[in-house]
Structure 1
Amino acid sequence: MKTLLEVLQSGTDYLARQGCDEARATMQHLMAHVLHCNRTALYSQFDRPIQEAELAPLRQLLKRRAAGEPLQHLLGSTEFFRREFLTDARALIPRPETEELVEMVLKKIPAHPVRVLDMGTGSGIIGITLALELRERAREVVLADISPQALDLALENAMRLGARVSTVQTDLFENIPLEKAAPRPEEAEPPGSATEEEEQGAVHDMRFDVIVANLPYIADGEKLDPEVMRDPHTALFGGPNGWEIIERFLARARDYLNENGFIALEIGYDQAATVTQIMDGYGYNYIEVLKDMSGIARFPFGYR
């Protein structure tokens, strides 16, 4: 019977031979997952014998990882902004750069309560994180996506983490009206005391103070790592040049902003000049593109 250390080393060697990046860290994650402990706890159990009942699921996970299945899908979750989010093939795996976007957005949100729209929400990481970080300052947070499967995953994450959000299935702004009728009051006013419009329900503005979007920005046909291709293609490819969906978004997003509201985007490494030109053409003000930790102009902001 092999010890934990022996299994860790043999699994690491196997993954390395299969060309997996960060083979040892990956093996640590898989072992911690199977043994129901954290990675740190492995170091205090190196001499522990590994039972066959524990080896069988570990072997299956190793085969799937060697075949290119993302580690996050195997574990069923990933960490984002110090929280564990469910991850699977229904939505894009969160990238580290997106955490930087959330930090930047939080710094720019005013002190008063705000309405937030997370367009192209995927697993819900941006909108849910903003809802949890803003707390009482989040007047409303809406998660929007074209994929019903992604929205199901986002709702699962919201319920697990206790985030107060709503969802809408939509192709960009197609199913998001600029105005909506308020619910009718439970008790009607005396006859003749209300206008016709009030009888039909007051109309509420549906504009937002903050719209954040991590939309597809990879050019159609661009060759990607096989592991990345496990993500939904609708969450990856943004058109012949990569920025076409972003342009469709920018064409309408400004109309959905309150005065002094802003949009924030995550874009490709070489798209800053094109995207800022598009933003300027659609009338956004105070446009700036902030850099990620690698120095890449990655995050355009624009105001109404």
Structure 2
Amino acid sequence: MILQEFLRDAGERLEKACLHFADSHQHAEQIVLRTLNLSPTELFLKKDQALKSSDLEKLKSVLERRLSGEPLQYILGFEYFYESKFEVGPGCLIPRRETELLVDEVLGFELSRSLKVSELGAGTGNIGISVLLKRQNIEWHAFEINSESAVYTKKNIAVLLPKNSQYFLHGEDFFEGAGRFSPYDVIVSNPPYISFEEYAELSQEVKQEPELALKAGEEGLDVIRKLVSRIPVLLKPGGLFLCEIGASQEEKVKQEFNRGPWDHFEILKDLAGHPRVLKIK
């Protein structure tokens, strides 16, 4: 089969499957790029070439699993985040580009001195690992109670970080264990922030990710409220608090947290212009 034929057929089948893609044909290209480890230029040059039988079988297998609603990242076992390739799989939250804003903010804070950072919900380790790959003067304490997710955190630490990196993974509840290492210069989290109502409307694909990392009460703010309430106890004076929020939560977050005992309150927008990060100093 010619590669172009596979792309056309795959795009049509993905479109008929109604899996909520912005562009089914573009997603077919992503399947080919990632499965065969091609660059966009290589894909363009090979479109009129016949596929090797082994490559065609790989692509067919990935496509069938994708059509069943399985996340592409779980099928292939990886996702890219902030210049690095992270191992992922069932049981862990898939890293998303919007979360890179948290990394940028930590990297830009107090460049001249060492920092102690605490993170609720390590997931694949993508936030902390990405920071430590760029900045070594940081002691990072990540809390992850999902043992399935922690498997991937440990794998990514072993593969991506130098042996002398100060990344400490704690398999306990943040709200019970973080106090042992406080106070912190930075508290950062991509917490669960989806409301019960929003969760019911999510695609079956997204629902394959751990519910614990997604749902957070009637308004999606249960965990964020607990985090903000710990700022006076866990964060050093002049410290930085960063927390990802849902795009629809800006006004509610402003109403609840704008009047706290802090000097700086801001909602940062992601590259798409959506409210994405609560920043408090």
Same fold (TM > 0.5): yes
| Partner of residue 46, structure 2 | 45
Provide the rounded CA distance (Å) in 2 between the counterparts of 1:295 and 1:301: 16
- Residues 218 and 35 (structure 1), Cα distance of their counterparts in 2 relative to 1, 3 Å cut: closer
Bigger drift between 156-165 and 275-284 goes to 275-284
| Partner of residue 95, structure 2 | 94
SS state of the match for residue 45, structure 2? coil
SS state of the match for residue 178, structure 1? helix
Provide the rounded CA distance (Å) in 2 between the counterparts of 1:249 and 1:116: 14
Equivalent pair of 1:169/1:175 in contact (CA under 8 Å): no
Structure 2: segments with no counterpart, 5+ residues: none
Bigger drift between 286-295 and 81-90 goes to 286-295
Residue 263 (structure 1) aligned with residue 241 (structure 2) = yes
Counterpart amino acid of 1:174? E
Provide the rounded CA distance (Å) in 1 between the counterparts of 2:236 and 2:13: 55
Give the counterpart of 1:293 among 264, 271, 274. 271
| Partner of residue 207, structure 1 | 183
Give the counterpart of 2:193 among 217, 237, 254. 217
Structure 1: segments with no counterpart, 5+ residues: 180-205
SS state of the match for residue 239, structure 1? coil
1:230-269 aligned at under 5 Å gives the runs 230-269=208-247
Give % identity: 30
Provide the rounded CA distance (Å) in 1 between the counterparts of 2:252 and 2:4: 52
More helix per residue? 2
| Partner of residue 197, structure 1 | none
Equivalent pair of 1:86/1:153 in contact (CA under 8 Å): yes
Q: Deviations over 1:269-288 (max 9, x none)?
A: 23234334544565333222
Give the counterpart of 1:178 among 171, 180, 187. 180
Q: Deviations over 1:153-176 (max 9, x none)?
A: 112112211252110122222123
Query: How far 1:214 moved relative to its partner?
Result: 0.8
| Partner of residue 2, structure 2 | 3
1:18-37 aligned at under 5 Å gives the runs 18-20=17-19, 21=21, 22-37=23-38
Q: How many residues align?
A: 274
Q: CA RMSD in A?
A: 2.2
Equivalent pair of 1:289/1:301 in contact (CA under 8 Å): yes
Residue 162 (structure 1) aligned with residue 161 (structure 2) = yes
1:274-289 aligned at under 5 Å gives the runs 274-279=252-257, 283-289=261-267
| Partner of residue 194, structure 1 | none
Provide the rounded CA distance (Å) in 1 between the counterparts of 2:259 and 2:145: 26
Equivalent pair of 1:4/1:47 in contact (CA under 8 Å): yes
Query: How far 1:60 moved relative to its partner?
Result: 1.9
Bigger drift between 260-269 and 218-227 goes to 218-227
Counterpart amino acid of 1:168? H
1:104-123 aligned at under 5 Å gives the runs 104-123=105-124
Bigger drift between 123-132 and 7-16 goes to 7-16
Query: How far 1:105 moved relative to its partner?
Result: 3.0
